Structure 1
Amino acid sequence: MHFTRPRDLVVAGLVALAFVYVAFKFAYGSMPRLPTLAGATLIVLAVIEALLAFSIRARIRQRRVTSALAVVRAVALAKASSMLGALMLGAWLGVLAALLPRVGDLAAATGDVRSALVGTPSAIVLIAAGLWLEYCCRTPEGGDRKHDDHPTG
């Protein structure tokens, strides 16, 4: 397994942005309104992951890791969270790109733009927390082979 590459996150975000932009551009009238605090749930996940990251980092530095499987699970969670954050960032940016020009014309667009303005920074924070957790799961001796993406078999 390799650590999360920025290009993977960028590609996921761009795919989500394109999909959501097209959906909101052509089918906005048939969609339900977005809850204003929908994106805030990502902040809750980010806080939990940040706390987990500090805990794992301390245990790895003090060599008190009792279960390597727990660290592997944390890495999997970190990778999934950063990917979710990238997808949601793209989605919220797609909402903004589709609706900002229509705010003056559609009353519903104003509320949905507010939702996107809450969701966008929340997604960025989740990406950061996921990448931080992944970083904290690395071994302190530099055993992560910074310049090699492929594990040896």
Structure 2
Amino acid sequence: MKDDRSTHAEPSRDELADRLTEVFDLVGPLYRRVHRKVEQAAPIEGLSVGVRAVLDLLRTGGPMTVPQMGRAQALSRQFVQRMVNDAAAQGLVESIPNPAHRRSSLIRLTDPGLTAIGAVRDREHELLRKVGGDLTAGDVEACLRVLGAMHALFEDVDVD
């Protein structure tokens, strides 16, 4: 993919804002479609979208408290607690003492939880290998940079 920056002037802030609106217009429907796809696969893995999110967060971040998970995923503490309860009922996570805070236990993956999220991620990886077009690693890096900047803009939004 050719870099057009050398031949075109940088967009104004207003033009950039208009293009970023297009990103929002794509991200919302994409998120909802992915959500639905995960729901359709739930009978296969037995995981809801929320439980899947909790398991994946614990896979990458290690043991965390429910409030930490809520902040990390921009979800209410109450919703995360329900998902943790669901995951615990399936034996996928467990509570362990938190040396930093006696009243707020750490939640960690169990071996079955690690196996379950591994199977989900493997299936998702196979699906994502089918993404078409002539995407490059640079395209993906640019996408991550843009979405990261947009995410940072809304970091201060309280979800609880």
TM-score, reference length from structure 1: 0.27
> Which structure is richer in relative contact order (CA contacts within 8 A, separation 6 or more)?
1
User: Structure 1 or 2: larger helix share?
Assistant: 1
User: Structure 1 or 2: larger strand share?
Assistant: 2
